[in-house]
C-alpha cells in the first residue's frame, strides 16, 4: 500500500458499556463510509475511565481476548473491509488483567494483541491497581493496509517504546489514549501539558521517520462516588514522518477525523534525515540500566 486513509474515532464515553459499543460501531461505520481503511478507537472505549479510583467491582468489566468484543468488532471489520484497532480491558485469568490493544483485519482476521507495557500511577490514573504490565513485548501487525504498531497511552512518553516498535517495521504508530486535565491545575498547567503530549509523539515520528496516530477520548468524566474528575482534552491527531501535524480533532466532543497518509514519505524522509543510518548501536548498552550512578 502506498496510500492509506486512517479514521480516528474520538469518543465521549457513557456509563453503559452497551451504549459505548453501539456508539463505537456507529462511528466506525461513519469512518468507513468516508473512506477509512484503518479505524482506531480511544483507550478503554467501552466504559468511562474507571481508573480514577481503586474499585474492586471494576474488575467485572474485564473480558477475555479473543472474546465477545473482538468477535463483534471482527465481524464489523469484515463487513466493512477495514482494519479496526480497539483498546480493551483484558482478563487473562483470575487476578491477572491487562490494558490491551487488539488489531482486527477484515480480510485476514484477528491479527493479535499488544498489552500496554508502561502502567501509570498518578492522581486519578491509578492503573497499577488494575493492570499487569504487558509481557508480549512490542508488536507490529502486518495488516491488509500496512504494517501497524500499537502502543497505548502512557507508552507515548517513552522514546524506547516507539523506537523498538518502529525498528520492528511499523509504518504507523497508533496510540489509543485517555488523557486530560485535572480541573484544579488546568488554568496554570493545562496548555503546557497538552503541548508536551503532542510534541512528544511528534518527536517519535521525526526520530523514526514514521507516521503517528494518537486517538484520545473527550468530555468530562466525574470521579465515581466522589468530587472532581478528568476533562479529557480530545485533540486526537496524526503527524507525518517529518513531525508535521496532518490533522487534529476538536478539544471537546465526538469526532471522526479522517487523514490520508502517503506511505512513500517514510523512505523519502529516512533518506533525507538518516537518523537510523547514523545510530551508534554499539554505544547504547546503558539504556537497559535504571540509572547511571555518578
Among the options 153, 210, 221, 239, which is catalytic?
153
Among the options 113, 116, 210, 221, which is catalytic?
116
Measure the CA dihedral 197/5/150/189, to 10°.
10
What is the C-alpha separation between 68 and 75, in angstroms, rounded?
11
Among the options 13, 43, 221, 239, which is catalytic?
43
Output the CA angle 176-21-214, nearest 5 degrees: 15
Of 179, 127, 133, 136, whose CA–CA distance to 157 is shortest? 179
Which residue intervals of 81-113 are DSSP H helices? Answer: none
What residues does 181 pair with on adjacent strands? 231
Q: What DSSP string describes 171-237?
A: SEEEEE---EE-TTTHHHHHHHHHHHHHHHHHHHHHHHTSEEEEE--EEEEEPTTSS-EEEEE---E
* Burial tier of 267 (Cβ tally within 10 Å: 0-12, 13-18, 19+): exposed
Q: For residue 160, give the H/E element and its range.
A: helix 159-167
Check if the beta carbon of residue 180 is closer than 8 Å to that of residue 230: yes
Question: How many other CB atoms are found less than 10 A from the CB of residue 225?
Answer: 8
Concerning whether 153 is annotated as a catalytic residue, the answer is yes
- Positions marked catalytic: 43, 116, 153
Amino acid at each position: 500500500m502506498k496510500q492509506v486513509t486512517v479514521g480516528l474515532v474520538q469518543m465521549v464515553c457513557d456509563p453503559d458499556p452497551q451504549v459505548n459499543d453501539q456508539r463505537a460501531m456507529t462511528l466506525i461505520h461513519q469512518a468507513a463510509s468516508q473512506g477509512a481503511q484503518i479505524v482506531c478507537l480511544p483507550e478503554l472505549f467501552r466504559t468511562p475511565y474507571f481508573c480514577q479510583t481503586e474499585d474492586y467491582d471494576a474488575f467485572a468489566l474485564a473480558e477475555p481476548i479473543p472474546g465477545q468484543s473482538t468477535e463483534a468488532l471482527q465481524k464489523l471489520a469484515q463487513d466493512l473491509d477495514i482494519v479496526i484497532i480497539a483498546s480493551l480491558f483484558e482478563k487473562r485469568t483470575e487476578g491477572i488483567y491487562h490494558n490491551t490493544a487488539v488489531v482486527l483485519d477484515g480480510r485476514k482476521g484477528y491479527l493479535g494483541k499488544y498489552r500496554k507495557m508502561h502502567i501509570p500511577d498518578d492522581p486519578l490514573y491509578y492503573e497499577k491497581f488494575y493492570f499487569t504490565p504487558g509481557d508480549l513485548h512490542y508488536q507490529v501487525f502486518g495488516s491488509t493496509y500496512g504494517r501497524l504498531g500499537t502502543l497505548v497511552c502512557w507508552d507515548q512518553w517513552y522514546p524506547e517504546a516507539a523506537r523498538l516498535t518502529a525498528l520492528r517495521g511499523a509504518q504507523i504508530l497508533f496510540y489509543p489514549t485517555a488523557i486530560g486535565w485535572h480541573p484544579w491545575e488546568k488554568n496554570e498547567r493545562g496548555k503546557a501539558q497538552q503541548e508536551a503530549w503532542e510534541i512528544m509523539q511528534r518527536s517519535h515520528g521525526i526520530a523514526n521517520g514514521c507516521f503517528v496516530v494518537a486517538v484520545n477520548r473527550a468530555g468530562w468524566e466525574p470521579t465515581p462516588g466522589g468530587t472532581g474528575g478528568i476533562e479529557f482534552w480530545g485533540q486526537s491527531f496524526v503527524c507525518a514522518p517529518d513531525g508535521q501535524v496532518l490533522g487534529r480533532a476538536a478539544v471537546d466532543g465526538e469526532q471522526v477525523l479522517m487523514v490520508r497518509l502517503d506511505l512513500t514519505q517514510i523512505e523519502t524522509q529516512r533518506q533525507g534525515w538518516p537518523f537510523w543510518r547514523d545510530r551508534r548501536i554499539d554505544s547504547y548498552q546503558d539504556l537497559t540500566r535504571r540509572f547511571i550512578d555518578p
